[in-house]
Structure 1
Amino acid sequence: MGRPERPITSFSEEIAALAMDLRAHRQRAGLSYAQLAEMARMDRTRLSRAASGKSVPPMAVVEAYLTGCGATKKQIARTRGLWRAARRAGRQRPEEAPQHIALIKDRLGLSVAMQHLYLKIGRPSLRDLERQAGAHGELPRSSLSRVLRGDAPPNRALLEAFVKACAVPASEIETWLEAWDRVNRPRRHEGANHFHSPALALRAARANQLLATSGPDD
């Protein structure tokens, strides 16, 4: 069955439960990921990621995983229920809510908001977000990874592509861009990395702790 999988360290009990259920099906079937990929007719990396607990996989991947393991209709229906619960959990705030976008005035606030949005949508792979953005190079995952880790600020184009890929309603996208404009407006007596709020710093640390479990999912 190949080497043991890494322990599940999800920020959500529901996402972890889904991952454990998928792993249990594969173990009962006695399949390696290479064998499962053949049975499911799907890339082994996508199947492995589905059971990692890092994010909520698409339902199509879950069904392919279960079908490859020979799951019954009743078992598939049960796992669908786990998937729905994981999806709901992935959309809830992971710790405490960030500032409302319209109130963000500094880079730290914007960084925290982006981290929470990424966690809120279930922490999808950056490759999937890159594809979701559409145009080639519009949302490079290497740049997005640095931004989500807090290692670099986003440029305006990347922020816009990111929120669109996260399915933020069109009516709210302009609010995000206005926040970027405020953050990047020249100010007197403030260094480029000056952050105003200790509470925001705490939120950033907590969001970074969740991301640091495995980093943004490539």
Structure 2
Amino acid sequence: MRELALELRKQRSATGRTYAELAGESLLSPATLKRAASGASVPRFETVQAFYAACRPHLRREQQIAAWASILKKWRLARMEERGTLAAQTVNVDFVVDYRDFVLALRAFWERKGALPLRTVQRFSEDSILLPVSSLARILNRGAIPNERQLQAIIRGCLGTTLEQKKWEAAWDKVFRRQNARMVGHLDGAFSVKRSR
């Protein structure tokens, strides 16, 4: 949390503006901006986004990209610290081999991305019909398996990169191809036993 607070203060300081001046540009109160940069608690994602948006016009182009990347990374780590998932054991998406691994890795991915509220993930997914909050909750909290389009929407909704998207699609394909091959093998065995009678 401390690192995020320091980063937010650094960005505000780089603008040369007061909290009151930034508040006029962010639609947040000066008190909310000060609280976000205080380190007392982890601010909501939307608050961090608004804080950055207020600072952005006062930063040079190259500073803007670096500032958002740094704020986002530190916010995610602060969320993991707050939720007690910083040291959690996870399955790397590159080593997913079955449904169980896939479910554990997807939940860990969501946690590493800051465990955004499900409605926020849905909004960022750009497809609320494909990804209703109830389905998203079943997938992330109870281990339901998403279809391929839902998986793509989840990765987008968690602000995943293009490389992450490709890795998840490959893992999904591997898990389902392996599962389907097992099912076909069982069916082939059932038909051959029936035919031999």
Q: Tell me by how many angstroms 1:97 deviates.
A: 4.6
Aligned to 2:182: 188
1:59 aligns with 2:48: yes
Taking a change above 3 Å as real, the CA distance of residues 175 and 145 of structure 1, as seen in their structure-2 partners, is same
Structure 1: tracts of 5 or more residues without a match: 1-12, 18-39, 43-49, 64-82, 190-218
- Alignment-derived partner of residue 125 in structure 2: 133
Paired with 1:85 and 1:175, the residues of 2 have a C-alpha distance of 20
More helix by share: 2
Query: Hey, what's the Cα distance between the residues in 2 that align with 1:135 and 1:188?
Result: 32
Aligned: 1:147 with 2:135: no
Question: 162, 168, 176: which is aligned to 1:176?
Answer: 168
Distance 1:84 1:103, change over 3 A: closer
Length-normalised TM-score, structure 2: 0.52
* CA–CA separation in structure 2 for the residues paired with 1:88 and 1:153: 24
Given the alignment of the two structures, is residue 89 of structure 1 paired with residue 89 of structure 2, yes or no? no
CA drift at 1:179: 0.8
Task: Identify which of structures 1 and 2 has the higher relative contact order when contacts are C-alpha pairs closer than 8 Å and 6+ apart.
Answer: 1
Aligned equivalents of 2:169 and 2:88: distance in 1? Answer: 23
Q: Is the 8 A contact 1:130 1:141 kept in 2?
A: yes
RMSD: 4.2
Q: Structure 2: how far apart are the matches of 1:150 and 1:55?
A: 24
TM-superposed CA distance for 1:175, in Å, is 1.7
The alpha-carbon distance between structure 1 residues 159 and 87, as it changes in their structure 2 partners (threshold 3 A), is same
Amino acid at match of 1:182: K
- How far apart in 2 are the matches of 1:135 and 1:98? 28
- The amino acid that maps onto 1:177 is E
Q: Equivalent of 2:92, from 89, 100, 103?
A: 100
Partners of 2:49 and 2:89 in 1: CA distance: 30
Go from structure 1 to structure 2 and tell me whether the alpha carbon gap of 1:52 and 1:176 turns closer, same or farther (over 3 Å shift).
same
Q: Relative to structure 1, is the Cα distance of residues 151 and 172 closer, same or farther in structure 2, using a 3 angstrom cutoff?
A: closer
Contact preservation (8 Å) 1:160, 1:177: yes
Structure 1 runs of 4+ aligned residues shifted over 6 Å read none
- Residues 135 and 56 of structure 1: is their aligned pair in 2 closer, same or farther, counting only changes over 3 Å? closer
For 1:84 and 1:171, the matched residues in 2 are separated by 18
1:41-72 alpha-carbon deviations (Å, 9 max, x no partner): 77xxxxxxx99869655325679xxxxxxxxx
Please state how far the C-alpha of 1:96 moved relative to its aligned partner: 3.4
Asked if 2 retains the 8 angstrom alpha-carbon contact of 1:55 and 1:122, the reply is no
Name the CA shift for 1:60/1:181 in 2 (closer, same or farther; >3 Å). closer
Q: Partners in 1 of 2:97 and 2:126 — Cα distance? A: 29
1:139, 1:161 within 8 Å by CA — same for their partners in 2?
Answer: yes
- CA 1:148/1:178 → structure 2, altered by over 3 Å: closer, same or farther? same
Q: TM-score, normalised by structure 1?
A: 0.48
Q: Please point out which of 82, 96, 110 is paired with 2:102.
A: 110
Taking structure 1 as reference, are residues 150 and 172 closer, same or farther at Cα in structure 2, changes over 3 Å only? same
Whether the 8 Å contact between 2:76 and 2:112 is mirrored in structure 1 is no
SS state at 1:132 partner:
helix
